Amino acid sequence: RVSAGAPPDGGADPADVAWAAGACSFPPALAAVLRGLRAQGAGSPWPLDTLVCVAWACARCGARDEDTRELLAGALGAARQALPQAGAQQLSTLLWSAATLSVRVPEEALQALLPRLPGCLAGLAAPALARLAWALAALLGSRAPQALGEALASQACRCSRELCAEDLANLAWAAARLGSCGACADRLLEAAGERAEEFGLHELANAAWALAELGAGETEQPAGLAALERLAAAAERLGGRPAAGEAEEAAPQRARLRSALARLRGGAAGTDAC
């Protein structure tokens, strides 16, 4: 009914409809919610729950068109006064969604969010921490406050063994972008070694690049050396001859993986971009 243009039964909250659209990966319902929000006009701030749910649903449904990104950027700017009251999970979800969609987050919204982040870290589970670190690195990169970036990456690295392969690869990439410490590199290396068989080509290439950037190849710890061997075996499995019908974009990933692995084995830092 909603995707066909009918009003939601009982005046359903747009946040609920957006959440359902994202959870079910049903873009037509999300499009109906976005139409309704656009009709409200740019000057009307969205409730915080609506902003978080709509941004998350857009990321889940792959709504990356420029109009949607501009709508979300405007909504973030309009909600800047409410953002400091957001909960830890809301902030993690909101920033992850914005980074996933490459939304140009207004500077005033970032300045409202950043002071809130340090107090959120203890209240987030490992996956949410990893996604928050990735989002911060993707949105701000070297502009991220150094103390915040290091604290976030270090907190996430302490629970890196709880992460799935995808989140672990993203965390390693974020740690490299945010400039984490050597202890963080050691934890990430050991966790990556334990997940070596679970990585896909893209994930392993990103994780290996990040570990090389962090200097993990210089480890002399037995656990770290064993992890390097497991990663090398996984790279051999994934980086060999292309499979029949493999996408063309896999070739650069294979080249990046080989380069990163060579750096890890040699213990040398490099400048390859991820």
Q: What is the pLDDT of residues 59-76, one digit of tens each?
A: 999 999 999 999 999 999
Domain-located, residue 100: yes
Residue recorded with tokens 């359903």: 12
SS (H, E, C) 94-140: HHHHHHHCCCCCCHHHHHHHHHHCHHHHHHCCHHHHHHHHHHHHHHH
Which range of residues forms the domain containing residue 33? 14-114
Domain-located, residue 187: no
| Residue-level pLDDT at 268 | 44
Confidence of residue 218 (pLDDT cuts 50, 70, 90): confident
Domain-located, residue 147: no
Cβ atoms < 10 Å from Cβ of 156: 32
SS3 4: coil
pTM listed for this prediction: 0.82
Task: Work out how many domains the chain is built from and give that number.
Answer: 1
Burial 202-240 (b: 16+ CB within 10 A, else e): bbbbbbbbbbbbbbbbebeeeebeebbebbbebbeebbe
Domain-located, residue 127: no
Domain-located, residue 53: yes
Domain-located, residue 73: yes
pLDDT at 239 exceeding the cut of 80:
no
Q: What percent of the chain has pLDDT over 70?
A: 87
| Residue-level pLDDT at 272 | 44
Domain-located, residue 263: no
Domain-located, residue 238: no
Range picked from 78-82, 94-98, 108-112, 175-179 for highest mean pLDDT: 94-98
- Separation between Cα atoms, residue 71 and residue 68, nearest integer Å: 5
